Structure 1
Amino acid sequence: MKLSYNSQREGDSIILSIKGDLIGDEAGPRLVEIISDALQSKIKNCIIDLQEVRYISSSGIGVLITMLTKMRNAGGDVYLASPSEHVKKLLIITKLNNIFTVYESLDEAKEKVK
């Protein structure tokens, strides 16, 4: 399933909702660009809503890590919200659950990230 996404600003955060398979194809660089643009607008937090992501490839993981690195280098952070069971397992296997803060729901993430 082709990846689609949309981003909206809420306060000091940008919320990035991703749908489909995150395989780091042509959408990867565009997602990283959203982070760069957010940083230029003085946004320091990014919440990535993974509710509708079915699959993440190793390149997709690379995209998430690139986004995280960019944000953290600028004093910000990236949070993951609503991962499916499959994505949750992947985060645990790759130990990304130790690197990213993962929230069960988007509402919880919005509540905690202020």
Structure 2
Amino acid sequence: MKTDANLQDGILSVRLTGDLIGSPDSQQLLQTVDQHLGDDAVKLCSVDLSNVRYVNSSGIGVLVSLLTKFRSRGGELVLINPAEHPRKMLALTKLTSIFTIADDEAAATSLLKNAN
């Protein structure tokens, strides 16, 4: 899995590509987010899942962990356009009621700014 992270206007934007399966790549993702969380101003995050082909239970756990990190800081996390398999996994685990899902980055940014 490839992870790209960008901080702009107080929103951490994370773009994932590949498979989210809880491998060492997932630990790298968590470390990347933790580095940005060192700045107290970062409380909002969007995670683009449009290029994630496959997610397993460990990958779902990583997403829940990220959500918990931001909500415990009084912030929010929005998932952007999950591909078919991740969307099915979120529905199967009933996490669509917990996560906010946006169609694109502009919608995610709007949701996050209104949540703050």
Unaligned runs of at least 5 residues, structure 1 = none
Partner AA of 1:58 in structure 2: S
1:72 corresponds to which residue? 71
2:27 corresponds to which residue? 29
For 1:30-50, what per-residue CA distance to the aligned partner results, in whole angstroms no more than 9, with x for missing partners? 211222222211200110000
1:12 corresponds to which residue? 10
Given that residues 39 and 74 in structure 1 are in contact (C-alpha distance below 8 angstroms), is that contact kept between their aligned partners in structure 2? no
Given that residues 20 and 55 in structure 1 are in contact (C-alpha distance below 8 angstroms), is that contact kept between their aligned partners in structure 2? yes
1:87 corresponds to which residue? 86
Unaligned runs of at least 5 residues, structure 2 = none
Given that residues 5 and 18 in structure 1 are in contact (C-alpha distance below 8 angstroms), is that contact kept between their aligned partners in structure 2? yes
Q: Distance in 1 between matches of 2:32 and 2:74?
A: 16
Q: 1:40 aligns with which of 38, 41, 45?
A: 38
Computed over aligned residues only, the root mean square deviation of the Cα atoms, in angstroms, reads 1.2
TM-superposed CA distance for 1:23, in Å, is: 0.4
TM-superposed CA distance for 1:21, in Å, is: 0.3
Q: Secondary structure at the match of 1:6?
A: strand
Partner AA of 2:29 in structure 1: L
TM-score, with structure 1 as normaliser = 0.91
Count how many residue pairs are aligned between Structure 1 and Structure 2.
Answer: 112
Given that residues 19 and 55 in structure 2 are in contact (C-alpha distance below 8 angstroms), is that contact kept between their aligned partners in structure 1? yes
For 1:29-88, what per-residue CA distance to the aligned partner results, in whole angstroms no more than 9, with x for missing partners? 221122222221120011000010011011101111111111111111211001112221
Q: Distance in 2 between matches of 1:86 and 1:97?
A: 13
Q: Which moved more, 1:33-42 or 1:71-80?
A: 33-42
Q: Distance in 2 between matches of 1:28 and 1:99?
A: 21
Percent identity reads 37
Q: Distance in 2 between matches of 1:76 and 1:19?
A: 24
TM-score, with structure 2 as normaliser = 0.89
